[in-house]
Amino acid sequence: MLNKSKLIPPTEKEEAAINSGIDADPDTWEATEKEFSQMRPAAEVLPEVVENYRNNRGRYPKDNPW
């Protein structure tokens, strides 16, 4: 049997406090429809970075730990 998460969702009051904190943070914003329409996949924008990530996932070889 799968172990179910014991995560308790926030109450409406807690959710409002969380969202208020997010709104007060100058480093966050909600993306507009225009911004969403301009987004592109990382593999399209930075293919070499994505390829490097895909090729280097997992453990390092034992002969080269770093």
> Which position has the higher pLDDT, 34 or 6?
34
**Rounded Cα distance, 14 and 22, in Å:** 12
- 13-66 tens-digit pLDDT: 999 999 999 999 999 888 999 999 999 999 999 999 999 988 887 766 667 665
Question: Which of these, 30, 32, 51, lies nearest to 41 by C-alpha position?
Answer: 51
**Rounded Cα distance, 45 and 38, in Å:** 12
**Rounded Cα distance, 28 and 17, in Å:** 16
Contact 18, 10 (CB under 8 A): yes
What residue ranges do the domains of the chain occupy? 31-56
> Which position has the higher pLDDT, 59 or 5?
5
